[in-house]
Amino acid sequence: MGLTVDYELKETILLARLNGELDHHTASELKESWQLALQQPGIKHMVLNLESLSFMDSSGLGVILGRYKELKAEGREMVVCSLTPAVDRLFQLSGLFKIIRFEENERYALETFGVVLS
Amino acid sequence: MNTNMMRFSFSSQSRNEAFARVTVASFVSQLDPTMDELTEIKTVVSEAVTNSIIHGYNSDPDQMITIICTLSDDEVELIIQDEGVGIPDVDEAMEPLYTSKPDLERSGMGFTIMENFMDHVYVHSTEGEGTTVTMNKQFNRSKAMSQ
Ligand SMILES: Nc1ncnc2c1ncn2[C@@H]1O[C@H](COP(=O)(O)OP(=O)(O)OP(=O)(O)O)[C@@H](O)[C@H]1O
Ligand SMILES: [Mg+2]
């Protein structure tokens, strides 16, 4: 099963789509590739799409909050979109809903950064 | 009352986290749980096993974790055991947002998730001897009663 990540650049926004299972095992690989992707020049903010995440536990909360804090320290923003009910529940439980901005879908999340898809 | 039980042990390696939760979920499927209930079971197994690896064994890959799962009627009992460092103060450890390893990007939500997803969570731990987490959950109360 595992986890795959697609990174895409939409103007100055990094779009990351997670696919599969995010646990302690896959979180460490994700952290590495995510930090690398954010180092590409010209990236301002980012959108994290969780639509195809079939499993997540507290390790996922940790790795997402970790990147959120790194971005925030540099004055950059992260928006999370397309939560499944199970993932939504974990964000509710942990109180992350009060910290991170969530949007319903990818198109709308990108639009809030001024990226309009044709 | 019909009781059905299984027990398995595996190395304290992160790659086994998925194996552990899928194995328990497929055993528990006999009780015909809902998708949501199965997700809850997978999540709590993942939480307890990850804790044994990271905290109990400090990421030493050569230790063993044991899971015992018992089904009786519409109820599941899960026991997840390690012989690691143990927890000095269980009450403090179970508080939401308490973590002893913030540097590893832990957020102290594991026990809170277990307590939310299961009916009952009991932690027995002795420093230097290890930790046993026992969790119970009854499935589909309403469905069982209408049968
Ligand atoms: N099996 C264990 N052996 C030793 N200590 C443990 C064990 N399980 C939990 N602990 C202790 O209890 C604390 C709280 O555990 P909990 O799972 O709630 O949070 P966490 O693992 O630190 O963070 P998160 O689960 O959100 O990634 C841990 O930080 C650790 O100190
Ligand atoms: Mg934990």
* Mean pLDDT score across all residues of chain B: 95
The CATH class for the domain spanning A3-111 reads alpha beta
The question of ipTM being above 0.85 is answered as yes
**Residue B142 pLDDT grade (very low, low, confident, very high; cuts 50, 70, 90):** low
Q: Which helix (H) or strand (E) holds B49?
A: helix B35-51
**B57 Cα nearest atom in ligand 1:** 3
User: Given this model, what pLDDT does residue B141 score?
Assistant: 62
Q: Per CATH, which fold does B3-138 belong to? A: Heat Shock Protein 90 (3.30.565)
CA of B138 to the centre of ligand 1 (A): 25
Q: Could you state, in order of their start, the residue ranges of all structural domains in chain B?
A: 3-138
Mutate to test the interface with B, among A1, A3, A25, A54 (most CBs of B within 10 A): A25
Residue B140 banded pLDDT, cuts 50, 70, 90: confident
The alpha helices in chain A, defined as continuous H runs, are: 24-38, 58-73, 85-94, 106-111
CB contact under 8 A, A93 and B112: yes
Establish whether B21 is a catalytic residue.
Answer: no
Q: Are A10 and A110 in contact (CB under 8 A)?
A: yes
Report the pLDDT value the prediction gives residue B147, as an integer from 0 to 100: 45
Tens-digit pLDDT string for chain A (118 aa): 799 999 999 999 999 999 999 999 999 999 999 999 999 999 999 999 999 999 999 999 999 999 999 999 999 999 999 999 999 999 999 999 899 999 999 999 999 999 887 7
Between B89 and B141, the higher pLDDT residue = B89
CA of A12 to the centre of ligand 2 (A): 35
Q: In angstroms, what CA-CA distances link B126 with A22, B51, B56, B77, B122?
A: 30, 15, 11, 21, 14
